[in-house]
Structure 1
Amino acid sequence: MSALAEAVVDLGAIAGNVRTVAAVTGTDLMAVVKADGFGHGAVPVARAALGAGAGWLGVTSAAEALALRDAGITAPALSWLHRPDDDFAALIRAGVDVGVSTTTHLHAIVDAARQVGVPATVQLKVDTGLSRNGASGDDWPEMVAWARKYEVEGGIQVRGVWSHLADADVPGSQCLPRQVATFEEALRIARHAGLHPDLVHLANSAAALSAAGTRFDLCRVGLALYGVDPFGASGPGAFGLRPALTLRTTVVNVKRVPAGTGVSYGPEYVTGRATTLALLPLGYADGLPRAAEGRAQVWLGDRRRPIVGRIAMDQCVVDVGDLPVAIGDPVVVFGADDAAPSVTEWARWAGTNPHEILTGIGARVGRHHIHEGAHIS
């Protein structure tokens, strides 16, 4: 049974974006495939990225990391957000690097490593100004000292030191150089304590593309991997990234209505003239944010047409004017075509970021993966 809407993911675009970013950075890349690959499908995206030259995979949770291993993906991977009582033993057995942000987590990881009988490979995270995860202030030297002790004892191997940037996508950011300086001081402290990390990384997509001083050994690429300009360009942008996901559906009902017709709940929209309304089987349960009401558009009948009235859980209405639209006509909500709305535009209409739009695509939207036009899933 076919879905009422589908997200078509071009894995060729994923691969091309890896090569595009790598050509700029000159470093190894970590393809960030958390949140099911930003809604694109973590496993096929991971394979495409690795095939294009990415050396690492990045995920948030143990479940995400182990799902990659269960799919047969053995590439180096980092998982970085955990409870202290997480199943670190499973990560250690699976050969997944564990991100460490507190001494509490570090002690728990070492306990798990002792149970498994294999050293845990860890990457220590320092908070350089984002004020989220990572050790900061006096906690950093303490965590580094414990890490060195455990490394000498054979409980862990410290492979990396890393952090995350707060506003690398803001041109002229004053926070960025402060974070770089804080990061370099944290590296000095770690090395002075006797740690010798093989992998030092700080840059996200925006920094990887624009700030050479943040690149170090590895760049973590999330949004750019999926072809979205991290600086908010709606079209191709300055970096040659290719959007990988097209969200599309078809018209399921058409009706001609007179002026003064209320549309959807409220109604908050009333037609100002005789017009044709097209019904789409997509709503906020499928990822169309209600916050975009009154601004959002779709591509229908070779032109952009507005969504009118409230977006409902399962459906929305498009005012097509006098276009000759019929049931079954194709609709692009957002996608790679320059003429169609982009995910960046949808984010702007909803007052959010592209990440939320992509990861918000609902489970009942079918995912289909293609590579250079060939359907593969």
Structure 2
Amino acid sequence: MNETAKRARATIDLAAVRSNVRALRERAPRAELMAVVKSDGYGHGAVRCARAAREAGASWLGTALPEEAFALRAAGDTGRLLCWLWTPGGPWRKAVEQDIDVGVSGLWALREVIAAARSCGRTARVQLKADTGLGRNGCQPADWPELTAAARAAELDGTLRVTGIWSHFACADEPGHPSIAAQLTVFAEVLAVSEAAGLRPEVRHIANTPALLTLPEAHFDLVRAGIGIYGISPSPEVGTSADLGLRPAMTLEASLASVKRVPGGHGVSYGHHYTTPGETTLALVPLGYADGIPRHASGTGPVLVAGKLRTVAGRIAMDQFVVDLGGDSAQPGDRAVLFGPGDGGEPTAEDWAGAAGTIGYEIVTRIGSRVPRVHADSDAAHAAEGGAHAVERNGTSVETAVTGGTA
């Protein structure tokens, strides 16, 4: 094992990513699929997961920040790529030069894209976003006619091409919520206004992972799969990963740093919120909130140690936490599994989300840069074709030996 992965590691099964993309494509067979790889692939490693998603048939990639999109281009991705979170003065010209589709939610952004396209003499690829009810980014319906008219004028002079019209749901992870139908109605209205303005986009899209799974009427030309491609359910209301035919791709584990016997009545960690009920064995897991382990899961977070599910004993500290093994034994260096697919009895990211009072998205995206990503492939044949898997840390890959299964 690489030195950087001895303390702790997040192993990413790229075969699971490919399997999840294929499963999601089957749910929306008439639409193209965008694999959203923002926030370093939801903590899984954007470049490697993007490649796996492409291999499984994702025709688009999506990022929030321009820097995320540029990193994919630098890594060799030349396919369709949408980047949507921009601020004034952003690197529009670089995006235009790299054929990145840019999200535009207002006239200020459209004007900056037009200026960038003219400065470099290239046609910008623009996707206009409508606020159909989420209340975040996106153009309000009242302002939509002005935005679409301005975009069409720029199309006619060859400055840009409107490649997409899109929006985003507020409550698709709550099936049956009244806002869903309301947003679809507004989306139909903005599409009609766009068509009347003369715009003929390549793709119309509003469906995120939960809408992809539960709302076939929202699939249109393209669906955006985010958390689903990493094998995590968007919400309990939609179903568990297993219910949805998805496999969690990340396994987070660490090597025990200490194992010792202590007497009854011994306080554990800051504040002594846990006191040993009798003589017992304490094991130290060298991960803490600096690594992204939620402090809110103190006393509730589940961990598989010495063949059994345990619960975090006492407060999670910056770099470490303790589990009480009771009468069981373990050795320093033994494996502690915080979460994974669940097949080996280990907890899942969704279990940690429940323990911390949050969502699975936050559990995987918050795992920090001190924890190396080890990309493996449980499809042994595919792994052999690749020749190696990588340990990624702080954006750097270090090639290591091929393995079938997790490292």
Q: Does 1:288 align with 2:290?
A: no
**Where does residue 274 of structure 2 map in the other structure?**
269
Residue type at the aligned position of 1:59: T
1:174 and 2:174 equivalent? no
Q: Which moved more, 1:288-297 or 1:37-46?
A: 288-297
**Aligned partners of 1:344 and 1:337: how far apart in 2?**
10
Distance of 1:68 and 1:162 partners within structure 2: 22
CA positional deviation for 1:193: 0.8
Question: Against the structure 1 CA distance between its residues 234 and 216, is the aligned structure 2 distance closer, same or farther, given a 3 Å change threshold?
Answer: closer
Asked if the contact 2:175/2:214 (under 8 Å) is kept, the reply is: no
2-structure distance, mates of 1:342, 1:13? 15
Aligned pair 1:353/2:359, yes or no? yes
Matched residue type, 2:97: R
Residue 61 of structure 1 aligns with an amino acid whose one-letter code is L
Which residue number in structure 1 is paired with residue 370 of structure 2?
Answer: 364
Q: Gaps spanning 5+ residues in structure 1: where?
A: none
Aligned pairs, number: 377
1:15 aligns with: 18
Cross-structure match for 1:310: 315
In the TM superposition, residue 237 of structure 1 has moved relative to its aligned partner by 2.9
Q: What amino acid maps onto 1:188 in structure 2?
A: A
Match of 2:400 in 1: none
Letter in 1 for 2:160: I
Instruction: Return the alpha-carbon distance in structure 2 between the equivalents of residues 140 and 149 of structure 1.
Output: 14
Q: Is the 8 A contact 1:250 1:329 kept in 2?
A: yes
Q: Which deviates further from its counterpart, 342-351 or 100-109?
A: 342-351
The answer to whether the 8 Å contact 1:306/1:320 transfers is no
Contact 1:6–1:365 (Cα < 8 Å) also in 2: yes
Q: TM-score, normalised by structure 1?
A: 0.98
> Does 1:214 find its partner at 2:227?
no
Q: For 1:171 and 1:66, how far apart are their aligned partners in 2?
A: 35
**Structure 2: gaps (5+ residues):** 391-407
Question: What amino acid is the match of 1:19?
Answer: R
Q: 2:265 aligns with which of 260, 267, 270?
A: 260
* SS of aligned partner of 2:165: strand
Task: Check whether the contact 1:234–1:342 (CA below 8 A) recurs between aligned residues.
Answer: no
SS in 2 for 1:23: helix
Q: TM-score, normalised by structure 2?
A: 0.91
* Overall identity of the aligned pairs, in %: 47
User: Following the alignment from structure 1 to structure 2, what is the Cα–Cα distance between the partners of residues 144 and 342?
Assistant: 45
Structure 2 Cα separation of the partners of residues 234 and 243 of structure 1: 14
Tell me whether 1:376 sits opposite 2:389 in the alignment. Answer: yes
Q: Distance in 2 between matches of 1:202 and 1:253?
A: 50
Match of 2:347 among 329, 341, 344: 341
Contact 2:233 2:360 in 1 (8 A): no
SS at 1:2 equivalent: helix
Give the match for residue 395 of structure 2. none
| Distance in 1 of aligned mates of 2:311 and 2:212 | 36
CA drift at 1:174: 1.0
Q: Does 1:250 align with 2:250?
A: no
Other structure's SS at 1:124 match: strand
